[in-house]
Amino acid sequence: MRLLDQLDLEPRPLIRAALSTAALGALVALGSRGGRWLDPALLGYLLATLFACFGVSYRYWSWLERPATDMYFQDTLRRFLSPRVLLTLPKLMLLALDQIFLQRFIEKRSVKRWGAHALIAWGCLLGFSVTIPLVFGWVRFTSAGLDPNRYEAWLFGFPAGSFPLGSPVAFITFHILDLAAFMVIAGCTLAFIRRLHDEGDAATQRFDLDLLPLLVLIAVSVTGLLLTVSEKWLGGRNFTTIAFMHELTVIVMLLSLPFGKLFHIVQRPAQLGVTLYKADGEAEGRLPCKGCGALFIRANQRRDLEVLFKRLDLDGARHSPSVHHLDLCPKCKRRLMALAQNQRLGGSFDPFHDVPIYAEPVADPTTFRS
Amino acid sequence: MVGDDFGFYIDPQRCIGCRACVGACAECGTHKGRPMIHLDEIDRLVSTQTTPTVCMHCEDPICAQVCPSDAIKRSEDGVVHSSQKPRCIGCQNCELSCPFGVPIVFSGLEQMMKCDLCYDRTSEGHKPMCATVCPSQALLFVPKHQISAMRQNQPLNEFTIGTLKVRTRTALMVPDPGLPLHLDAALLMVGGGF
């Protein structure tokens, strides 16, 4: 425990991360038929992936332990453990398409940002969808029997079809990672250009958080493309050196996953849970502000925020036993600041503060009647 | 980095409701086209009084504490920034929990934005947009040592809501800054206003 304290590590997320990594290790062993289908050339990638799994899991479980995150996590958990989940599934699929795959909320933030992000995200997804099964030994290619001109694909150690070399299927299979690399390079370049010209980003961005991940992704993609260049046009010259450089850059990227900006990839699905939570709240109805009476806060969020305030030791923010600060809408909170200043000033800046008003009835200006 | 020797001072009693701050705020590079300053009428039926609200930049921001995605960060210079775009999931916890009603969550964008002291300007030694254009100096961004000579009222950085204490980087001008300003909802109920 003292060691954990010194390293600033939490025991519960640590155990959960170890279990998650062990589960992934078991899946790798199972899918590769006890390791027999693992490619020895990819073992470095496998070790880095397992480390990344441990690091990402640790940070993810730690993140879920934050009281505010836990508020939404518990709601999502309840939703998935209830029979209602079957009714929610179609909506969840549509939301995942809109928010995770098409990322239309980024398009609404900025079309330029969306273009760059979509190329990077889809390029990375495409790359990972090919490389992860290869590294885990779930997918492998061999020559089909004694025929050197046919390639056979194996899925979890079972034959999954073959194709002749030189066929369109072979071309796509061998070059799909090149396509992913081009997408990532194009996306990162667009992101760099945007960041150079956007004064807001220029003021707030940090090299380690915002620029370094782009540089690492470009390095991975360029070294990956160089492998194809060496194999196609240089007769395999320097292939081993380039392969080593590529492995090095990929391992750096995998090891940085838990620490840097790319962690948002595993955070983003939380948006689906929040969208469903908000929809539930709309169905339940909004509560009125206790200052002005305007409907503003969803009933479920009001309840959960009060619990959250207690957990965060903020529950003292009560004006009376029946009025919590959460019961005031943002506008009333802003008005309250000015009213409190006015009270402190004794209304002194109101020139009519002490002047009694003996107003004569004013004729109604909207009518000619006296 | 915003210089520690500069302070932001709000004085609602000087606001004339011209909305110059709102127009200028929308020019800020970090939230282009969207004003983050609020200009509210206190009680339109009985008074023409308006009040500008910018972020108070709390020392221990409640918006950041209630953020489920850990997207709201306070930089070393005490400025609390808009939510980080890759992380924000638009849940509105910050908007509903802020003691001063500052953050705005744009649904559809799934993103919270707020006054960030015009970080693209202040980090390079310029004044925030709103303080630059405010004709009545209801919004003032000046060196801290100058403010006491400029005003009879003095800056106050501590507020109480019930028993909760909130300390802020941005200050409100009051005659007796030694006492924390108590934000009591009863003021809203008694037909408040100026």
Q: Each residue of B111-156: pLDDT tens digit? A: 999 999 999 999 888 999 999 999 999 999 999 999 988 888 999 9
The pLDDT value given to residue A83: 87
**Chain B touched by A77 (CB under 8 Å):** no
Mutate to test the interface with A, among B40, B48, B96 (most CBs of A within 10 A): B96
Mutate to test the interface with B, among A104, A266, A298, A341 (most CBs of B within 10 A): A341
The pLDDT value given to residue B124: 87
The pLDDT value given to residue A148: 82
Rounded to an integer, the average pLDDT of B153-181 is: 95
**Chain A touched by B51 (CB under 8 Å):** yes
3-state SS of chain A?
Answer: CHHHHHCCCCHHHHHHHHHHHHHHHHHHHHHCCCCCCCCHHHHHHHHHHHHHHHHHHHHHHHHHCCHHHHHHHHHHHHHHHCCCHHHHHHHHHHHHHHHHHCCHHHHHHCHHHHHHHHHHHHHHHHHHHHHHHHHCCCEEEEEECCEEEEEEEEECCEEEEEEECCCHHHHHHHHHHHHHHHHHHHHHHHHHHHHHHCHHHHHHCCHHHHHHHHHHHHHHHHHHHHHHHHHHHCCCCCHHHHHHHHHHHHHHHHHHCCCCHHHHHHHCCHHHHHHHHHHHHHHHCEEECCCCCCEEEEHHHHHHHHHHHHHCCCCCCEEECCEEHHHCCHHHHHHHHHHHHHHHCCCCCCCCCCCCCCCCCCCCCCCCCC
ipTM for the assembly: 0.96
Contact at CB, B164 and A349, closer than 8 angstroms: no
The pLDDT value given to residue B192: 44
Q: What is the pLDDT of residues A253-309, one digit of tens each?
A: 999 999 888 999 999 999 999 999 999 999 999 999 999 999 999 999 999 999 999
For A:287-306, CB contacts with B below 8 A are: 290-292, 297, 301, 305
For A:116-175, CB contacts with B below 8 A are: none
pLDDT at A365 over 60: no
Rounded to an integer, the average pLDDT of A206-210 is: 90
**Chain A touched by B99 (CB under 8 Å):** yes
**Chain B touched by A268 (CB under 8 Å):** yes
Q: Which of A105, A198, A334 sits opposite B51 (nearest CB)?
A: A334
The pLDDT value given to residue B20: 96
Contact residues, chain A, for B28 at CB < 8 Å: 200
Contact residues, chain A, for B95 at CB < 8 Å: 330
Contact at CB, A69 and B68, closer than 8 angstroms: yes
What is the percentage of chain B residues whose pLDDT exceeds 90?
Answer: 77
DSSP B80: B
Rounded to an integer, the average pLDDT of A12-29 is: 96
Whether domain B6-189 has CATH 3.30.70.20: yes
The pLDDT value given to residue B194: 36
What is the percentage of chain B residues whose pLDDT exceeds 70?
Answer: 97
Q: What is the pLDDT of residues A36-90, one digit of tens each?
A: 999 999 999 999 999 999 999 999 999 999 999 999 999 999 998 988 888 889 9
| Residue in B closest to A110 by C-alpha | B109
| Residue in A closest to B63 by C-alpha | A68
Give A185→chain B minimum CA distance, Å: 19
Rounded to an integer, the average pLDDT of A312-319 is: 95
pLDDT-wise least confident of A105-109, A143-147, A169-173: A143-147
Q: Which of A105, A200, A271 sits opposite B120 (nearest CB)?
A: A200
